[in-house]
Amino acid sequence: MAPSLRQGVVLAGVLLLGMAAARAQVPQDNDSQRARGAAQAALEAVAQPGAFVCRPLTVGMMAPDWIRGRVLAVHDGRLQVRIAQAGQYPHTLAGADLTPGAEVWDAAAAWTPCRD
């Protein structure tokens, strides 16, 4: 293959790869916007006094043990939660032993809405 033809083939390949990369970034932008929207919606769902929320806590290598509680207050992305069900195993969260009736402050992003 002649040098000028080879250079043309390489240039065409580079242009095609560049166009494919540009197209591939559009869905990533949409996906990241969608993910941010979903995270914001989840935060709004739990960041309401009176909401019933759940949080997984890991016990060794087992499946997560779920704790449940009711939101008492919201401040700066944190929730004050009164624990209703402390899970099957003993847990400590933010320095407090989790027992029914215990009140803890924790990051709102760690909690998810759940049913009573």
pLDDT tens for 9-28 read 444 444 444 555 555 555 55
The C-alpha atoms of residue 67 and residue 114 are separated, in whole angstroms, by 10
Region 47-65 average pLDDT = 90
Give the mean pLDDT of 43-71: 90
Q: How far apart are CA 107 and CA 37, in angstroms?
A: 18
Mean pLDDT of 41-53: 85
CA 84 to centroid of chain Cα atoms: 23
Burial of 52 (0-12, 13-18, 19+ CB in 10 A): middle
Interatomic CA distance for residues 9 and 29, integer angstroms: 31
Q: What is the pLDDT of residues 59-94, one digit of tens each?
A: 888 889 999 999 999 998 899 999 999 999 999 888
Query: What CA–CA distance (Å, rounded) separates 107 from 112?
Result: 11
**What is the pLDDT, as a whole number, of residue 12?**
46
What is the pLDDT confidence band of residue 44, given thresholds at 50, 70 and 90?
A: confident
